[in-house]
A and B are shown apart, each in its own frame.
Chain A
Amino acid sequence: MLNMNGISKVYQTEMVQTHALRDFDLQVNEGEFIAVTGPSGSGKTTFLNIAGVLEPFTQGQYLLDGVDIGKLNDNQRADIRNQKIGYIFQGFNLIPDLNLYENVEVPLRYRGIKAAERKRRIESSLEQVGLASRAKHLPQQLSGGQQQRVAIARALAGKPRFLLADEPTGNLDSLMARQVMELLEQINRDGATIVMVTHDPELARRAPRNIQVVDGQIADFSLYQGNPAAVVGA
């Protein structure tokens, strides 16, 4: 599903070169649920941005679902994001002007899906996160947990094969965090591949596979239980 070979990312500012990722290798199979942990500044977010095709990388090869991401232009990358990937952010990133229904609708519109089909999908995904009755509400009228569920509904509506979550529970209390986590597990059981970045070991432990990023490379994965054969380490 996801195959990174020798990916590196260098941020170039006037003064300094920062190597956010160095020779990063990772393989994720279809249907996996991976938790990525690591200290702040380790390159977790860079990894996630590259994995989510949000940011170009400097070197290496990245195959997502068999597509060589490095060879795509900006528009094709937008299409990949739109059709194959769902995102869940720590800050929810709902658009404040739009109500829940319209927020979920955003990626579907960019995909050019017809209105009737959009409606069906939006309603079913809002149903799935238990917010169908509040479709007309604006994000600021909801609690953090509810907002994050909307964000999940938005990610689900596009029926992505690949779901990326960046600290999905970071802004939530523990009860809400557990609900969101259960939702993610459910989505994983339904067939989506999930990569989740978190600094919460509790949460990470619930994922079947854990990797840790330190200094832009995958570090000690054996700390957590997992399938060593599936991991290509440093």
Chain B
Amino acid sequence: MFFHYVDLSWRSLKRTPMVSLLMVIAIAVGIGITMTSLSVYHMMSADPIPSKSTQLHHVQLQTMDDGRDWWSDDNMPYQVTYPDAINLLNADLPYRRTAMIAAGFAVHVDDSDMKPFLERARVANADLFSMFNLEFIYGSAWTRNDEDSQASVVVISQSLNDTLFQGENSVGKTINLDGMTVRIVGVIKDWPTYVKYYDLNNGAFRDPEHIFLPFSLIAPNEIITWGNSNGWKAENVRGFQDKLKSEQFWVQFWVDLPTDEDELAYGQFLMSYMAEQQKLGRFARKELDFALRDVKQMMVYREVVNEDNKILVMLSFMFLAVCLANILGLLLAKFLRRAPEVGVRRALGASKTQVFIQHLVEVGLLGVIGGILGIFIAQAGLWGMRKSNDAYTVIADMDLTMLLSAPAIAVSVCILAGLYPAWLVCRTTPATYLKSQ
């Protein structure tokens, strides 16, 4: 019976080609526009590391004196100070953790005719690789020993390894970063994320780094941050060593807390740490405060999905509502005109349900056609977005969920629009239209 209904629907659509076309266009365009903005929203807000997103936590400490203002929503500095980062690293706790900063170097290899080039780097701790599920192709992470001895070691990504060493196992070879010579201990697959969720301070959609250096190299090599440094206190920062001791915020800190108990325990640890620091004259404030946010909370907090995208999604859904009203009006007109035929069918023994379903199948068919066309329109829209903005090269795309959602939303919208007309038409009293035809 279902296929019979599909067959009838198809004929019905063909009988009023103009109106069918109008309806299909309305749905296709509505779905196209909605899916364009929704796809971007979906990609932006997607969990970048589903297996770990609830357990990786970003640490923020309220180190400012009472009365000092910060521009974040909760008045909490986005980053931590270098001394705090070092103290948190040194705490004797069973959790994997890493401090990190963004940096950048002129990369050059001895005895190579390749021109030196600038490359961004992430300076972090060895736990970074296991915490953020980074996979090694060659070698492994450096050790805590390497960190303690300030060994000049480096981990590079597969693409950098391809550029520098044509993809061969480069473990043990050295490269020069500015004036510093470092030995490669591992090569990882490129960090598989398009949202730079681990450091949202300088744009959420920049490429992950390809060079990873031990955090302990910052002090001896005076590695300057390529990220933000913010200060609130009048301090005499004359040189790099002053900066290391200063109250400036320029380090991010992440800790891996597998369970809620761990999160609670770590929170308690942070409170006791700050209380201890208070005795040393820091944290001149009445109430100590910290923030532990997991990956998803961090993405909301730092507004990875920006306002414009939210406005667009909102407007697109309103647009879809207009399309729905549009289709509803046309369906109403179309179905009511068909009342005489429905009268005949009712007289010949069709039940209300059968008539109702027949009409819903028809609007469903409209939805399927419109939804599929809508995918093409959305693809065109996303293509336009990619062309318009480099940052959207990866984000402006439809994954399988979105591809399947398009016809699903289209069919739902159509059925929603078709319910009332179909209900009206199935209520046709069989006798009414028989005589006057």
**Restricting to A61-119, which residues have a CB under 8 Å from any CB of B?**
74-75, 78-79, 81-83, 87, 89-98, 106-107, 109-111
Q: Are A83 and B430 in contact (CB under 8 A)?
A: no
Give the top 10 A-B pairs by smallest Cβ distance, nearest first. Answer: A82-B349, A91-B437, A54-B431, A49-B431, A107-B348, A78-B351, A54-B430, A110-B349, A55-B431, A93-B344
The yes or no answer to B405 lying at the interface (CB within 8 A) is no
Binding site for A on B (CB under 8 A): 1, 4, 8, 11-12, 15, 340-341, 343-354, 429-431, 434-437
CB distance from A94 to the nearest CB of B (A): 8
Interface extent on A, as a size class?
20 to 34
* Residues of B with C-beta under 8 A to A79: 349, 351
Binding site for B on A (CB under 8 A): 45, 49, 52, 54-55, 74-75, 78-79, 81-83, 87, 89-98, 106-107, 109-111, 154, 158, 166
Q: Are A154 and B430 in contact (CB under 8 A)?
A: no
CB distance from A232 to the nearest CB of B (A): 25
The verdict on A95 contacting B347 (CB below 8 Å), with A54-B434, A110-B354, A166-B434 known, is no
Q: Are A93 and B437 in contact (CB under 8 A)?
A: yes
Partner of A97, one of B12, B429, B435, B437: B12
Partner of B348, one of A49, A75, A87, A97: A87
The verdict on A154 contacting B431 (CB below 8 Å), with A75-B353, A95-B341, A109-B1 known, is no
Q: Are B347 and A81 in contact (CB under 8 A)?
A: yes
* Residues of B with C-beta under 8 A to A97: 8, 11-12, 15
Q: Which of A81, A93, A98 has the most CB of B within 10 A?
A: A93
* Residues of B with C-beta under 8 A to A89: 434-435, 437
CB distance from A159 to the nearest CB of B (A): 13
14 contacts between A and B (CB under 8 A): A49-B434, A79-B351, A82-B350, A87-B434, A89-B437, A91-B434, A91-B437, A93-B344, A93-B347, A94-B344, A97-B8, A109-B1, A110-B350, A111-B349
Partner of A54, one of B8, B345, B352, B429: B429
A-B contacts besides A45-B435, A54-B347, A107-B349, 16 pairs, CB < 8 Å = A49-B431, A54-B429, A75-B352, A78-B349, A79-B351, A82-B349, A89-B434, A91-B435, A91-B437, A93-B434, A95-B341, A98-B11, A106-B345, A107-B348, A110-B350, A166-B434
Q: Looking across the interface, which residue of chain A has its beta carbon closest to that of B434?
A: A89
Q: Are A81 and B348 in contact (CB under 8 A)?
A: yes
Q: Are B434 and A55 in contact (CB under 8 A)?
A: no
Cα of A14 to Cα of B281 in the assembled complex, Å: 88
Cα of A156 to Cα of B350 in the assembled complex, Å: 17
Q: Are B347 and A110 in contact (CB under 8 A)?
A: no
Cα of A173 to Cα of B348 in the assembled complex, Å: 26
Q: Are B347 and A52 in contact (CB under 8 A)?
A: yes
Q: Are B347 and A74 in contact (CB under 8 A)?
A: no
CB distance from B126 to the nearest CB of A (A): 71
* Residues of B with C-beta under 8 A to A96: 341
* Residues of B with C-beta under 8 A to A81: 346-349, 430
Partner of B430, one of A55, A95, A98, A110: A55
* Residues of B with C-beta under 8 A to A55: 429-431
Q: Looking across the interface, which residue of chain A has its beta carbon closest to that of B1?
A: A109
* Residues of B with C-beta under 8 A to A78: 346, 349-352, 354
